[in-house]
Structure 1
Amino acid sequence: MSQSTSRCKEQHPCTLEDLGWTKEHDAAFSKYAGPYLAGRVACRQKTVWDVLVDGGSVTAGVSGALRKIGRFPAVGDFVVLLNQPEAGTSMIVDILPQKTRFARGTPGREGADQVIAANIDTVFIVTAAGRDLNARRIERFLAITHASGACPVVVINKSDLADDPVALADEITSISPGIPVIPISAVSGEGVDRLDPYLSPRTTIALIGSSGVGKSTLINRLVGRPVQATSHTRDYDDRGRHTTTVRQLFVLAGGALMIDNPGLREVGIGTASAGIADTFPDILELAEGCRFSDCRHEEEPGCAVQAAVADGTLSASRLNSFHRLMRELAFERDKEEIGLVRLEKKRWKEIGKIARDFAKTKGR
């Protein structure tokens, strides 16, 4: 096996169990015998992946079979490596079943869901006191987190810069019922210990948020040493530069696993329909009182949701956000259906070509 220092960053030697390996992975890997290894993807660098294995790490490419079907590992994936010691190389030949799959829609009409990370237990949605604190953006992050199957936690960084951190947390709690909202300061360490219940050994946490909210500073605080570069936000708009350029998995001192992500300024909702119900439970509960079961909560008579907006029980901005995300989902569904039709036409075109070529060969 070609073991090497990770191209992303130096990693501590771990066992597969330390990396979150379970009995389910054992069962999935059991069909492989011979020169195969199991590991977990720590990061991707252009055309190669750094994979953590028992006691070290390897740098590996992806097999031609996986490339042909467009199947590439995400950070956090458990993979099967074909070990070729005679050539001094390793090749990823399979991706084991994912427990959770965290993805976002990519911008543009032809965009497909982009996998951010796999096998995540908890997602820290990191925002910051100041201009980045945007309720609508948090709702979008909540929708894609719920759809992934992971549990969301909202982390308000730089809370020491707020006049009233408690009021700030209460403001976010109002749009994320039942979701933990934790104000911290990654620089001073204030409140960071409140994240401990989510950092159990062998659990995986992903950090997402805009550039400049302090994700890299939080990683450095939790790892206990500077492993990620940091930069200051710009004074005129509170935005930061993309100091994190690749997704990467870190092993924390307490045994938890954490995936840092580059800043996300555009957050497409993708096809995360499963996350809408958990993101807007208040609206769906109100909808049960609507006169019509297919009410869109716009101008229909007897709409209990619009009535709640009128009497101040529900904010108009929250309903507008719900409508915006539902329209995006409808667009994504239409786009997916159009794509399937195009794919079917392409397949029939290819079948027709094969039939014509066969007929020509037979006629010779």
Structure 2
Amino acid sequence: MSQPTPRCGESYPYTLKDLGWTEEHERTFAKYTGPYLPGRVACRQKTVWDVLIDGGSVTVGISGALRRLGRFPAVGDFVVLLHQPKAGTSTIVDILPRKTLFERGSTGRDGADQVIAANIDTVFIVTAAGRDLNARRIERYLAIARASGARPVIVINKSDLADDPAALAGDLAAVATGIPVIPISAVSGEGVDRLGPYLSPRTTIALIGSSGVGKSTLINRLMDRPVQETSDVREYDERGRHTTTVRQLFVLPGGALMIDNPGLREVGIGTTSAGIAGTFPEILELAEGCRFSNCRHEGEPGCAVQAAVADGTLPAARLESYRRLMRELAFEEEKAEIGLVRLEKKRWKGIGKLARDIRKTKGR
């Protein structure tokens, strides 16, 4: 079922090319002949999705086949719609291959990662001057951003509230080697122009960060008008309430596409080590000198990493953060294995039920 009016905001009169559609998408979509349309997911509201199509927007559901397979479109996905104008309906029937996938580890017990957004070129990790400026949290965000395949950029908002705004980037230098760190003020607009090189037309940027760091204020600044609700932060902990409740894709005036996300209370590390490896390159380089190839850097003899901590070359907090994320990765991988086993058992249980039903039918 489809509805003509989008639920997540206004209808956008953009072309597919404006939305990031490429020749590769065109080749992939070419196999669909008949009443099919391509589109890009702008947001999800419970059981329906707003999809931007060539020149407009529709609100649709997904096919039963996708639902049974557990394939739910994410914001930023390019999808295939079965378009039936006579019936007045459109339905998502397929998801085109994803260039990148930004997800966080599940906080539940089923081992499934939670998709945040798809087909992202750049991730703006938004933090704020003050208590939210936490190196350990940034390391975690960097790990999941790197694992997605998108390039991370650290944006320090509310820099006008700091005694020394120029020193803010230096506070993160040890955890953000080679990563752009840009202090801004979304309220005053100071420094926002420095984000310009990452806002090229038809590129997609995702915003992530804690509640109250000013992601929605930044969206409003970049859109040149209020499109997202904002709220004040609490004085005692400098946190805000979740004014953004759904993930939503916006088309900026300059042509870039930006996905705003609700504040993340918990960020699991997921089930891939690629992000951790890219976030702690100096530890992996030191590990090549360890006596044992499977050294965990937790007391083994001949550990080059621990030696670096002992002589002050490597900060102890940095190693502890690496250990913590690696332990969490092992736990997430174990959960994923358990989830696969449960899924396989469920599948075989379904096959057994089908076989029994067939035997009963034949016996009649």
Q: Is the 8 A contact 1:11 1:251 kept in 2?
A: no
CA distance in 2 between partners of 1:23 and 1:135 (Å): 40
CA distance in 2 between partners of 1:212 and 1:231 (Å): 8
The aligned counterpart of 1:303 is: 303
Q: Residues 227 and 354 from structure 1, CA distance in 2 versus in 1: closer, same or farther, beyond 3 angstroms?
A: closer
Q: What is the identity, as a one-letter code, of the residue corresponding to 1:46?
A: K
SS of the residue 1:173 aligns to: coil
The aligned counterpart of 1:124 is: 124
Q: Is the 8 A contact 1:205 1:259 kept in 2?
A: yes
- 1:319-342: CA deviation from partner (whole Å, max 9, x where unpaired): 111111101111111122222233
The aligned counterpart of 1:343 is: 343
The aligned counterpart of 2:138 is: 138
The aligned counterpart of 1:220 is: 220
The range that moved more, 237-246 or 334-343, is: 334-343
Q: Is the 8 A contact 1:286 1:304 kept in 2?
A: yes
The aligned counterpart of 1:56 is: 56
User: What displacement does 1:22 show?
Assistant: 0.6
CA distance in 2 between partners of 1:246 and 1:104 (Å): 16
In percent, how many aligned pairs have the same letter? 81
User: What displacement does 1:86 show?
Assistant: 1.2
CA distance in 2 between partners of 1:228 and 1:121 (Å): 22
The aligned counterpart of 2:104 is: 104
- 1:137-196: CA deviation from partner (whole Å, max 9, x where unpaired): 111111111111000000000011111122221111211111111100000111101100
User: What displacement does 1:350 show?
Assistant: 3.8
Q: Residues 250 and 357 from structure 1, CA distance in 2 versus in 1: closer, same or farther, beyond 3 angstroms?
A: closer
CA distance in 2 between partners of 1:114 and 1:182 (Å): 28
The aligned counterpart of 1:94 is: 94
Q: Residues 357 and 243 from structure 1, CA distance in 2 versus in 1: closer, same or farther, beyond 3 angstroms?
A: closer
Q: Is the 8 A contact 1:124 1:207 kept in 2?
A: yes
Q: Is the 8 A contact 2:110 2:336 kept in 1?
A: no
Q: Is the 8 A contact 1:3 1:56 kept in 2?
A: no
Q: What is the identity, as a one-letter code, of the residue corresponding to 1:221?
A: R
User: What displacement does 1:357 show?
Assistant: 4.8
Number of residue equivalences? 364
Q: What is the identity, as a one-letter code, of the residue corresponding to 1:244?
A: T
User: What displacement does 1:109 show?
Assistant: 2.7
Q: What is the identity, as a one-letter code, of the residue corresponding to 1:119?
A: N
TM-score, length-scaled by structure 2: 0.96
1:263 aligns with 2:234: no
How do residues 1-364 of structure 1 correspond to structure 2 at under 5 angstroms? 4-359=4-359
Unmatched segments (≥5 aa) in structure 1: none
CA distance in 1 between partners of 2:216 and 2:356 (Å): 58
- 1:190-227: CA deviation from partner (whole Å, max 9, x where unpaired): 11011000000000000000000000000000011110
Q: What is the identity, as a one-letter code, of the residue corresponding to 1:322?
A: Y
User: What displacement does 1:6 show?
Assistant: 2.4
Q: Is the 8 A contact 1:295 1:303 kept in 2?
A: yes
Query: Any runs of at least 4 consecutive aligned residues in structure 1 with deviations exceeding 6 A, and if so which?
Result: none
Q: Is the 8 A contact 1:60 1:92 kept in 2?
A: yes
The range that moved more, 340-349 or 182-191, is: 340-349
Q: Is the 8 A contact 2:129 2:157 kept in 1?
A: yes
CA distance in 1 between partners of 2:358 and 2:202 (Å): 56
- 1:57-114: CA deviation from partner (whole Å, max 9, x where unpaired): 1111111111111111100000111111112221111111100010001213335211
Q: Residues 13 and 358 from structure 1, CA distance in 2 versus in 1: closer, same or farther, beyond 3 angstroms?
A: closer
Q: Is the 8 A contact 2:111 2:339 kept in 1?
A: no
Q: Is the 8 A contact 1:3 1:57 kept in 2?
A: no
Q: Is the 8 A contact 2:111 2:336 kept in 1?
A: no
RMSD: 1.7
Q: Is the 8 A contact 1:245 1:262 kept in 2?
A: yes
CA distance in 2 between partners of 1:10 and 1:340 (Å): 40
User: What displacement does 1:45 show?
Assistant: 1.2
SS of the residue 1:276 aligns to: helix
CA distance in 2 between partners of 1:354 and 1:60 (Å): 32
SS of the residue 1:344 aligns to: helix
Q: Residues 186 and 91 from structure 1, CA distance in 2 versus in 1: closer, same or farther, beyond 3 angstroms?
A: same
Q: Residues 83 and 346 from structure 1, CA distance in 2 versus in 1: closer, same or farther, beyond 3 angstroms?
A: closer
SS of the residue 1:18 aligns to: helix
